[in-house]
Amino acid sequence: MKRIFPTVLAVMICAAAFAQKNETPEAPYLPIDERTNLVTYQDVVKQEGTPAVLYERAMEWVKKYYKNTSEVIKKADPQKGVIEMRSSVRIFYKQKDGTLRYKNVVYYNFKIECRDNRYRYTITNFNEKAAGPAPIENWFNTSLSGWTPSQYDYLSQIDEQVKELITSLEEGMMPVEEFVDEW
């Protein structure tokens, strides 16, 4: 009896540790477009201004935010008030010691459309850099071969970086107060 109890206890501890290790973590929330089934960040933001004024603000923001605007901007149409871009975010994997190492880039399409007193941004078509199409939507599917919990971490990293991008855009689209030096 004295030998059975420690053995049973050791087996229970190992089983609990194994169960926790194989437990699938909860998937992060990223907005999925119902029509396309793609991760899509889209919003219409009310902002005073004509389409031309909003387009100019958007273009100024793009030039400040991106270092390589000639590579990022794929189409810029001031008459229609549309800027279409292709850019990327970096993802990192966590090593056993907790340090982050560069893994790859994930490309996305980014569109800004300007209308009277509003603009709309659409960020979608996320694909990891690979030889062929590698949509990040596959990272939600735990039944695919090669799936790892780290893919949820990559999705969270993408979500965080895109939210920072959106915050920067919204701040950049605010009217700049002109300083009048009345002395």
> Model-level pTM?
0.82
More confident residue, 182 or 123: 123
Q: State which residues form the domain around 63.
A: 27-172
User: 107 burial class (0-12, 13-18, 19+ CB within 10 angstroms)?
Assistant: middle
CA 32, chain centre distance (Å): 12
SS3 75: strand
Does residue 55 lie within any of the structural domains?
Answer: yes
Does residue 77 lie within any of the structural domains?
Answer: yes
Q: Taking Cα atoms as reference points, which of 114, 116, 121 lies closest to residue 48?
A: 116
What does the block give as tokens for 159?
Answer: 């979500």
pLDDT tens-digit series, residues 62-111: 999 999 999 999 999 999 999 999 999 999 998 889 899 999 999 999 99
Does residue 146 lie within any of the structural domains?
Answer: yes
Does residue 156 lie within any of the structural domains?
Answer: yes
Number of domains in the chain: 1
User: CATH no. for residue 66?
Assistant: 3.30.530.80
Q: Taking Cα atoms as reference points, which of 150, 135, 136 lies closest to residue 24?
A: 150
Question: If pLDDT is split at 50, 70 and 90, which confidence band does 17 have?
Answer: very low
Non-local (6+) Cβ contacts of 55 within 8 A are: 78, 81, 83, 114
